[in-house]
Structure 1
Amino acid sequence: MTELAPNRFKRRLQAGETLYGLWSTIPDAMAVEALAGAGFDWMVLDTEHTSVEVSQILSLLQAAAPHPTDCIVRPVVNDTALIKRHLDQGAQTLILPQIQSADEAASAVAAVRYPPRGARGVAGTMRAAGYGRIRDYAKRADDEICLILQVETAAAMERLEEIACVDGVDAIFIGPSDLAASMGHLGEPGHPEVRAAILSAIDRLNAIGKPAGLLSLDPDFGRTAVTRGAGFVAVGLDMALLVNAADSLARSFRV
């Protein structure tokens, strides 16, 4: 009988470890497999700002599975039916974008839990259940699901504690780019006011015992966030790494 895999990311987050991650946007299993072997603690498989479709996530999860890097799937929207599909494919940790209120947070929690605690649809032979080989999967699955909510607007920041304290929310991720836009600094996630808001949010989440995460392509600010108390920080994005390396190599031959 196949055993239900423990959610390593969730356990490490709850243990207070500092976890460094990478953002994956390239819809290719070979690219994900290569990135998963790099040594990051976690990586996001993104479907919100990429061409990755729901069905493609399955092959990306399979590509990363042999490696110790834990995958976090980002659906395009907080939708119960869509979330069900990602969970059934084997995603154990989800990060949901654009959460604006405690009601939306509660809806997300319900979507990742089976009845009577939630509204996740029940099936028996999907990949998450070992194709039917994991005994009592539906009765035990909730404990291994990790739910991360993105708070990424100024309005949502005002309700940060209300959102974070909804039962079943495991962590909060602060989205710098959308936050910057909502604060009047479109395209400036590194603006001093935006960074101050992010660090303040980390402080507020620490005060209520809720892990805080973010994405920062600025290593110095990433380290500052960790020093401030951020528990999980993405420090790179695959397309940015590819483009920057290619541009740098091209420039080196054109001096």
Structure 2
Amino acid sequence: MSHDLRASPRRWLAAHAARQRGWLGLAALAGIAAGALTIVQMALLAWIVSRLLVDGDALVTLSGAFIALVGVLLLRAMCQWGQELAGQEASLRIRESVRAELLDHLAAMGPVRAGSRHTAALASQLVEQVEALDGYFARFLPQLRLCAVIPLLIVLVVLSLDWLAALFLLLAAPLIPLFMALVGMGRSASIATSSLSSAGSRGIFSTACEGSPRCSCFIARRKPPPRYMQRRIVIGA
């Protein structure tokens, strides 16, 4: 683990994401296809409702539109399944790489330097904190690309229908990432605080278990008896 990656967590995450660019790109493409099919689905529903309520057409005359709607729903479900599958595959490979990197780093530290850190905090980093990366790589990164493409598709569709409504959407669009950034900054500070307190509580609990007489009794029961006791058992038998 290089000093640059430790100094910049965002660069470290980007470096691991770049190794699985193919799977993450596939997840993003499947998500874009699912978003485009959602727009087509809404357009079909609006057209069917307009033909039924405004024009007064019979349901039999709209059988082709209903079949097309069912096909769009199936394709959208397949795209969402592909997005989830590709995102999970990328996240699994990245988490395996991160866990192997942490183990190599602990091996390079040696028992003396690694012994200065509590085993509960190390176990939390190897298990819980690595597993917490799943949501970032499997869902957040593909959705980040979708947030840049899907709104443009919606604006283009609205622009073809009403340019004034599209103008209002363009004016209101910058407010959404602004509020999302404010919420994310507050959440990041609370997560950092809870992570430190959680590591401390794990260390206190582990130390208490190690010093508890009852826990020590359980540990002693798991140890094999000494050799002279084994010999006494064999002779007595």
Q: What range is the shorter-chain TM-score in?
A: under 0.3
Q: Which structure's residues are more often strand, by fraction?
A: 1
Q: Which structure's residues are more often helix, by fraction?
A: 2
- Provide TM-score, normalisation by structure 2: 0.27
- Provide TM-score, normalisation by structure 1: 0.26
